[in-house]
Structures are given as C-alpha cells and as structure tokens.
C-alpha cells in the first residue's frame, strides 16, 4: 500500500474493502447460535481491551462510511436460522385442519401444540441464554464483556422469567385465535389485495411458500417470464 493510501479518510472510519473476506465472513451470521456459543466459550477472560459501561461510552467497532453488498449479505445470512425455525414450526406444529374443526383443548390437540411449542422455544432460547450468562461455568469468563459489571439478583431474574412466560402465553393465544379465525373462513381477503373470482376466503391449505396462484408477484408483475409462468401459458 502506498504512503498516501490513507489520506483524506475520516477518523473512525473502517477502510476495509467491501469484498474483504466476502462471502464467507459475511455468512457467519447463519451459524447462529452455535457460533455465538463457540465465541463465548473461547472468549479471553481478560477481555478485549474495550471499555464498557451503562453510561454509553462504549465506542465499539469503527464506523464504515457507506454500506456495501457484504453488509446486506450479512443481514440476510443472519436471518437464515430464524427462517429455518419458522419453516419447521409451520410444518410440524401448525394444524390448520384441526383448527378448521374448532378449538381442541386436549393435551394433544392443536391448541396445546402451539402453546407447548412456544414454551419450548422460550426455554431453549431465552432460558438457556440466561443460564449461559448468569449461571454456567462461562459466567466469570464473560464478565469483562458486560456493560453492567453487576449481575442481576435472583429476584430480577424471577421477575424477568415471569414476564417472559406471560408474554409467551399471550403470543400463543394470539396465534391460536388467528388460526381459528383463518381456518374458520373469516379471512375474506388480504388487506391490500382483491380476492380472485369465486374465492370467498383466503385459503389456508397451501404450501408454506404458497403456489403459483397465491404468489405475491404474478407473471405480469415482473419484467421477465419465469419458467412457471411459461408453463401456465
């Protein structure tokens, strides 16, 4: 690099090229949560030299002057594990056929299937995360990376657990009500759409990603004809 390569660049800016490490470095978000656990398990107990506090004086990493393609790839890569979880939940814990017949409050009915799934995810994500941060053998190793050097008392953890549990049940109730409403034929049309001729309600018995007839973009909406469009004539 020449002597004048860094001239004219603002203080605090990250001069790393957008393509450095692309695409593997940007795809690391797809390894959530295993990459996070690995990093915590291998974090230096002496910290990373950064000053952290609740007063907001943590400088963090250097700012980039602009966002590049790699930044957007990183955001999308980080969404992949969550999309995968959503697909698994849809395929294995959403029973619209049962919801179409009415509420089923039995222990193996579709309502409890939703509630138990949400409680499992609550424990698997929030519960295990709190355990790693506050109770696991990694607790002392992670102390230098905390913004607040004080650990919350047990009373606060109990309070947080109660409200997390309450919020999870509320979300389950909302999903149950929406499923019954939709499966009962009460979902007449999309908010910003017009139902096809002869359709009295939005169908629920379609694949996760919809069909050619229920796709968001129709053949006329794109500047090129997709193979599926050509097959439909």
User: For residue range 154-182, what is the model confidence (pLDDT) as tens digits?
Assistant: 999 999 999 999 999 999 999 999 999 99
- Residues facing 43 on adjacent strands: none
Under the banding of pLDDT at 50, 70 and 90, the label for residue 125 is very high
Assess if residue 36 is contained within a domain: no
pLDDT tens digits, 38-93: 989 999 988 888 877 777 665 666 777 777 777 788 888 889 999 999 999 988 99
In the three-class reduction of DSSP (H, G, I as helix; E, B as strand; rest coil), residue 117 is classed as helix
Question: What pTM was estimated for this model as a whole?
Answer: 0.70
- Check residue 198 and give its pLDDT: 74
CA 69, 74, 75, 79 dihedral sign is positive
pLDDT at 212 over 80: no
Under the banding of pLDDT at 50, 70 and 90, the label for residue 101 is very high
N-to-C CA span, the chain: 57
Assess if residue 80 is contained within a domain: no
Assess if residue 212 is contained within a domain: yes
Alpha helix positions (H), 52-205: 69-93, 96-101, 110-122, 128-134, 139-142, 154-183
Structural domain span for residue 209: 188-233
Mean pLDDT rounded to a whole number for the chain: 78
Assess if residue 218 is contained within a domain: yes
Q: How many domains does the chain have?
A: 1
Under the banding of pLDDT at 50, 70 and 90, the label for residue 149 is confident
The DSSP symbol for 200 reads -
**CA-CA distance, 157 to 130, in Å (whole number)?**
9
204 close to 94: Cβ distance less than 8 angstroms: no
pLDDT at 190 over 50: yes
**Residue the block writes with tokens 């398990």:** 41
* Token code pair at residue 179: 């499923």
Mean pLDDT of 8-29: 53
**CA-CA distance, 222 to 209, in Å (whole number)?**
18
Under the banding of pLDDT at 50, 70 and 90, the label for residue 9 is very low
Assess if residue 134 is contained within a domain: no
Torsion of CA 148, 154, 159, 163, to 10 degrees: 80
Assess if residue 58 is contained within a domain: no
Assess if residue 195 is contained within a domain: yes
């Amino acid at each position: 690099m020449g002597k004048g390569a860094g001239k004219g660049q603002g203080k605090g800016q990250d001069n790393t090229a957008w393509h450095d490490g692309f695409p593997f470095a940007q795809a690391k978000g797809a390894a959530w949560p295993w990459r996070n656990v690995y990093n915590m398990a291998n974090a230096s107990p002496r910290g990373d030299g950064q000053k952290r506090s609740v007063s907001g004086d943590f400088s963090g990493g250097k700012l980039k002057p602009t966002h590049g393609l790699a930044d957007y790839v990183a955001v999308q890569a980080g969404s992949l594990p969550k999309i995968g979880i959503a697909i698994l939940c849809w395929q294995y814990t959403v029973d619209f056929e049962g919801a179409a017949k009415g509420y089923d409050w039995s222990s193996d009915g579709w309502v409890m299937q939703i509630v138990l799934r949400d409680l499992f995810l609550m424990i698997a994500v929030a519960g295990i995360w709190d355990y790693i941060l506050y109770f696991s053998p990694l607790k002392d190793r992670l102390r230098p990376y905390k913004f607040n050097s004080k650990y919350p008392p047990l009373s606060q953890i109990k309070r947080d657990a109660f409200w997390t549990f309450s919020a999870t049940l509320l979300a389950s109730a909302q999903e149950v009500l929406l499923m019954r409403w939709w499966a009962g034929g009460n979902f007449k049309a999309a908010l910003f759409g017009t139902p096809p001729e002869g359709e009295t309600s939005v169908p629920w018995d379609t694949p996760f990603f919809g069909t050619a007839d229920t796709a968001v973009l129709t053949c006329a909406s794109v500047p090129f004809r997709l193979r599926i469009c050509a097959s439909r004539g």
